[in-house]
Amino acid sequence: MSDETLPTQPAAARPPALRPTRDPQLVLLRHGETEWSASGQHTGRTDLPLTAAGEAQARSAGATLAAYDFAAVFTSPRTRARRTAELAGHPGAVVDEDLAEWDYGPVDGRTSRDVSEILGRDFQIFDDGVRVLPPSAEHGDGRPGETLDQVAVRAARVIARAELVLGGSGPGSGAEGGGDVLLVAHGHLLRVLATVWLGVDPRLGARFELGTAAVCLLGYGHSLRTIEGWNLAAQ
């Protein structure tokens, strides 16, 4: 086959831009790729930068959300989230400590396979938590880590603050006059936050896959908090 007849490779397609809805939405953005997100290592308080690919993902996420005029933007204090917010077009995002990733304690820096080998069985973080391992100076600086319920309590505080901007303080309260809110944070924290938004068991967060630089849309419908889009434009 000559060069002239070789099939051409399509250029990488940019995710389509999302359009705001009439009613306010709570928009979630997971940070872009880091070395540990690529390798599957749990990254809680460990403060890693974005990779070059992660920075590109953050810019792409910004293009995906370019049509939104957010009334408020909040970010996790971790570098990977703050940098994602900046590259997505929100350098003035307000740091919210409650948006920090789950403190994994002794699981920090380990993959699920690592923990499974130590336990001698399959490890499921949403069921097992992170305190299945003893505190370790090498992983989590000797901290025991947070329970799932503690993460859910933080997520509930974030939602309460966000709803003041969305236009109310409870399910179905996203009335006209409120504004869209963007939260830039982490995979597990945002999955837990989605369960709190819906009022369901936080362990169901295990069922919500969330890729790097993915966007999710939470809203209101028929007097209920709803999920209007999940894992959109994931990289």
Q: Which residues are catalytic?
A: 31, 101
CA-based Rg of the chain, rounded to a whole angstrom?
19
Identity of residue 163: E
**CA 194, CA 100: separation in Å to the nearest integer?**
15
Nearest to 37, CA basis, from 58, 17, 14:
58
How many Cβ atoms sit within 10 Å of the Cβ of residue 131? 14
Handedness of CA 50, 51, 56, 60 (dihedral sign): negative
Tokens of 221: 């419908």
Burial class (CB in 10 A: 0-12, 13-18, 19+), 167: middle
